[in-house]
Structure 1
Amino acid sequence: MRLCADLTENIVALRALVQNSSDFLNKSIHLAGHRCELVFCEGMIGIGTLAELIIEPLREYRDACIQEPEELFLTLGRTDFLAADQKVVLTREEVLQFAMSGFAVLLIDGCEKGLALGVQGFNFRSISEPGNEQNMRGSREGFVEAARINLTMIRRRMKSPHLKFEYMNLGSESKTDVFLVYMTDKVSAKVLAEIKERLGTIRLEAILDSGYVTPFLDKKNASLFSGVGYTERPDTLCGKIMEGRVGILIDGTPFVLVAPYLFSENFQSLDDYAQRPYYVTFIRCLKFLAFTISFLLPGGYVAVVTHHPELLHKELLVKIIEAQQGTPFPLMVEALIIHIIFEIMREAGLRLPKSVGHAVSIVGALVIGDAAVSAGLIGTPMVLIVALTAVSSFVVPNLYEPVTILKFAFILLGGFWGLYGISLGLLALLLNLCSINTFGIPYTSPISPFGKAAFRDVFVRASWPTLQRSRSGIVQDLPGSSVQSDGGHGDA
């Protein structure tokens, strides 16, 4: 509802909307003979900033001679020494939204609009090193929960006029600030329009984390894998938007979404571009190997031992048989039990306080594993398989969720149908990966469809001069893309 000319009616209506909440404050002042009210939320503004940028400058207008309220409003709006961040508000809902975002809103009796002045002073976590994306080299700064602080970290790294921040508001009750960040000269207009359209379909009451938004961006994606990534690092996000991607910053979470996101990017990190190419190539191949081991090893072990023992060396087979003779469960059931126990211990270590979480998870795993083997419930080789699988699954943390489900699926396939089931499962997995289309770009590009130039940054990481010459950095110009930019230079 629009603001009216009666100041008292506006204040009464605003207090009714917030049900007279104790943190909603209003301060009466008189300027040039007109009654005014400053509306703000306790704890959301800086008291010192309010006094310095608003209260003190407004004292000059107490004895001024301005007859009309509209004239006073225009005069204050042109005042240079008030807060630099100024917005004109026309409705009561806008007044509340700005007040709850750290603004002080000035209302004048007889004027049907207000002036929102930025004096944010709410507390937030200080900038620190990201907890989930540790790097040997590069910046130690990570995103924080306050979206506008995150904007400054991006702008400090990208001083380009092509860098654009676009504001949105999501959540009918939370009114969460959301910012799209992209390079206007690199982003695909079609991809950007589709992201905005999908965000516009969100009808949630509250947006409390980036995970609330991801399913809407992953529209019609019947897969364990997501075409939307996330990062805690400003430098990583800057690298992504330089490739034509769109970053989605959501107030209240340090995880910034990145779209479109490709499968091969799960195996990349900022360190890859700061270290020597030959070493990065080795590490990336190691990551792909660890990913394969993490979901395929348990099922493959169950399949070979249960259905194809002739594939094993005689001495190895004898040791496995000796270890399994005293166990009461079939190998498939044994594998499921021990992996479920591991997931329980991992979850317990994750949710408990840090001071005891690591101790509980490590000691619990050792004690339970040793006790299970000593009691003859689980064979020793299976404990080794679980340990190797667990370590491998943490090499590529972004894929831990799909890997966990795939691990159990392949254990069942291997236990029931042996290597034939494993082969069918791999075929279904590859078909599913290749079927994912993230905003018009194949999820598995440039592996499939294959692109020679872009492939220099997948398994093998070419040197920077080579990557610069290849000009394959724009995501919409990858092979198979249906959103190629004008004058695109992809190798599709």
Structure 2
Amino acid sequence: MDSTKNAFPPSVRSALDMIKDLTGGTCELNTATYHVAGKEVAVISAEGLSGALMQSEMLNSAFITAAAQPVKSGDELIDLIFGTLLVSPDKTLITLIDDGLIRLFSGYTLIIADGSSRVIAFGTQMFASRSVSNPVSDQTVYGPQEAFTENVRVSITLVRRRLKTPRLRFEMLRAGKLSKTDVCIAYIKGRASERAVSKLRSRINSIRLDAVLSSGYVRPFVEKGYPNTLFCPSRLTERPDTVCTALTEGRIAILIDGTPFAMIVPTLFSEAFLTPDDLAGKPVYVSFIRWLKYLAFFLATLFPGLYAAAVFEPESFAFKLLLNLYSAEESSQFPLGVEVIIITLLLEVLKEAGIRLPKAVGSAVSIVGGLIIGDAAVKCGIISAPLLILVGLTATSSFVIPELSQQTSVMRIVFILAGSLAGMYGLACALLLMLANICAMDELSLCYTSPVIPLDKRRLTSVFWQKPPAGGAADD
């Protein structure tokens, strides 16, 4: 399309008519016309997005001073207001109506002067937004208690306040043909790979969706091979300190307007077992807790499958334990594999209900599911009592690593089916397939299983043991 067709006309009335025609006369547009230095001037803003008081304070003095100046044309008036009279750090001259509408609905105010095809856009953003609050999903005891908000400008401020280096870069892109959502790429120059930043920038620019409303819209475009991998080479966080830590390690953060979660790419499998509190605790205790998390991940994914596979090899149990399990399973009406699948699916239903329901009702769901339904299922012979212990241990273990909750739910079902149908052999095959899927993930030249595969002896110990922070010389 020819850019001249979208240019502002030099007539104020024509410009207002074009804007009204493109927006369909939407009710939130505020338009006011003035006569300044013998020229007709129009001021346009969007109600609820720009501050009326800020706009009045900035324009009153500018228009009064301009009225006393000898101005011969609209271009001279625009140059006078923009260059001398309008005191605003966020102002620009635009010539295209498309650019003007994007800025208008981003909280800017437009000044149109008769006889000039250039329009002044200056920032008067004053829309309602949620204040900075405590993190909801990434809880910490000793770390900072601040979380990102839906306003990308506020999120940028929270990162900049912690990293004052001039090498910190913020690049603003737009995604969504209709929403024109601001998507910000953050990285530290010299730490992050320029090739990775360029590749990530091109992936975001390739988004052809009508609207981008949250990180879920951007994630499939950012992650290469998104539908074919079980694990995610990116992670979501609402903590500014977590983003700052990732930036110092050479990662890239993506902040999206409208969502309080930042995306960090690339990420590693071992980082799901780390928390901001690790540096605040004693290294011995933190290492102990980290090993407990690895054990919890094993229990949440493999333990139900192992229990189901043990039917094929009952000699793997101790004799007394085998007798107890046999007497418990004797009253059940279904095979052991079917029982494990039923109770696992019931657990996922209760988890989903607890997440989606309001908090006041969510606690009641756990009571009804855990006590009433579980006890009734055992008495009716649908499931056995040992399976209640199994599902309770599995559910508790999965809550230890919330970042991998989706993956553990899927892998748990896969391992149960493999163990029920083929015993330990099927379980081993499913485990090998899962490891192959994980090891094949190579996002932005960083292997997801690093530093274990490929082996990096220098960083390997940090995966299993917590080391005290070591001082070092930082680059200027």
Counterparts in 2 of 1:442-457, with a 5 A limit? 442-457=447-462
TM-score by length of 1: 0.93
State the identity as a percent. 37
Counterparts in 2 of 1:278-289, with a 5 A limit? 278-289=284-295
Query: Is 2:240 the partner of 1:234?
Result: yes
Hey, what's the Cα distance between the residues in 2 that align with 1:54 and 1:131?
A: 42
Q: What is aligned with 2:152?
A: 147
User: 5+ residue gaps in structure 2?
Assistant: 1-5
| TM superposition shift of 1:59 | 3.0
Hey, what's the Cα distance between the residues in 2 that align with 1:322 and 1:189?
A: 64
Hey, what's the Cα distance between the residues in 2 that align with 1:389 and 1:52?
A: 61
1:348·1:361 contact (CA, 8 Å) conserved in 2?
Answer: no
Query: Is 2:52 the partner of 1:47?
Result: yes
1:219 to 221, 224, 239: 224
Q: What is aligned with 2:361?
A: 356
Aligned Cα RMSD in Å?
1.6
2:398·2:405 contact (CA, 8 Å) conserved in 1?
Answer: yes
Q: What is aligned with 1:463?
A: 468
The one-letter amino acid of 1:292's match is F
Q: What is aligned with 2:266?
A: 260
Hey, what's the Cα distance between the residues in 1 that align with 2:225 and 2:111?
A: 46
The one-letter amino acid of 1:237's match is V
Q: What is aligned with 2:182?
A: 177
Query: Is 2:5 the partner of 1:20?
Result: no
Hey, what's the Cα distance between the residues in 1 that align with 2:183 and 2:423?
A: 49
**3-state SS, counterpart of residue 400 of structure 2:** coil
Query: Is 2:52 the partner of 1:64?
Result: no
1:33·1:63 contact (CA, 8 Å) conserved in 2?
Answer: no
Give the direction of change, closer, same or farther, for the CA distance of 1:80–1:334 in structure 2 (3 Å limit): farther
1:54·1:82 contact (CA, 8 Å) conserved in 2?
Answer: no
Q: What is aligned with 2:3?
A: none
| TM superposition shift of 1:51 | 2.0
Hey, what's the Cα distance between the residues in 1 that align with 2:27 and 2:366?
A: 44
| TM superposition shift of 1:198 | 1.2
1:135·1:270 contact (CA, 8 Å) conserved in 2?
Answer: yes
The one-letter amino acid of 2:24's match is Q
Q: What is aligned with 1:340?
A: 345
Hey, what's the Cα distance between the residues in 1 that align with 2:14 and 2:158?
A: 42
The one-letter amino acid of 1:281's match is S
Query: Is 2:164 the partner of 1:162?
Result: no
Counterparts in 2 of 1:65-464, with a 5 A limit? 65-79=70-84, 82-221=87-226, 222-304=228-310, 306-464=311-469
Residues 361-414 of structure 1, C-alpha deviations (whole Å, 9 max, x = no match): 333332111111121111011111111111111111111111111100000000
Residues 25-61 of structure 1, C-alpha deviations (whole Å, 9 max, x = no match): 2111222221111111110012222222334443332
Deviates more, 1:271-280 or 1:376-385: 271-280
User: 5+ residue gaps in structure 1?
Assistant: 475-492
Hey, what's the Cα distance between the residues in 2 that align with 1:377 and 1:274?
A: 47
Provide the aligned length of Structure 1 versus Structure 2: 469
Residues 416-447 of structure 1, C-alpha deviations (whole Å, 9 max, x = no match): 00111111111111111111101111110001
**3-state SS, counterpart of residue 184 of structure 2:** strand
The one-letter amino acid of 1:240's match is A
1:40·1:105 contact (CA, 8 Å) conserved in 2?
Answer: yes
2:62·2:85 contact (CA, 8 Å) conserved in 1?
Answer: no
Hey, what's the Cα distance between the residues in 2 that align with 1:307 and 1:283?
A: 34
Hey, what's the Cα distance between the residues in 2 that align with 1:364 and 1:410?
A: 24
Hey, what's the Cα distance between the residues in 2 that align with 1:90 and 1:381?
A: 73
Hey, what's the Cα distance between the residues in 2 that align with 1:342 and 1:390?
A: 8
1:328·1:377 contact (CA, 8 Å) conserved in 2?
Answer: yes
| TM superposition shift of 1:81 | 5.2
The one-letter amino acid of 2:182's match is D
Hey, what's the Cα distance between the residues in 1 that align with 2:78 and 2:388?
A: 74
The one-letter amino acid of 2:337's match is M
| TM superposition shift of 1:80 | 6.0
1:277·1:462 contact (CA, 8 Å) conserved in 2?
Answer: yes
Hey, what's the Cα distance between the residues in 2 that align with 1:443 and 1:56?
A: 58
| TM superposition shift of 1:83 | 2.5
**3-state SS, counterpart of residue 302 of structure 2:** helix
The one-letter amino acid of 1:264's match is S
Give the direction of change, closer, same or farther, for the CA distance of 1:294–1:80 in structure 2 (3 Å limit): farther
2:66·2:80 contact (CA, 8 Å) conserved in 1?
Answer: no
2:10·2:116 contact (CA, 8 Å) conserved in 1?
Answer: yes
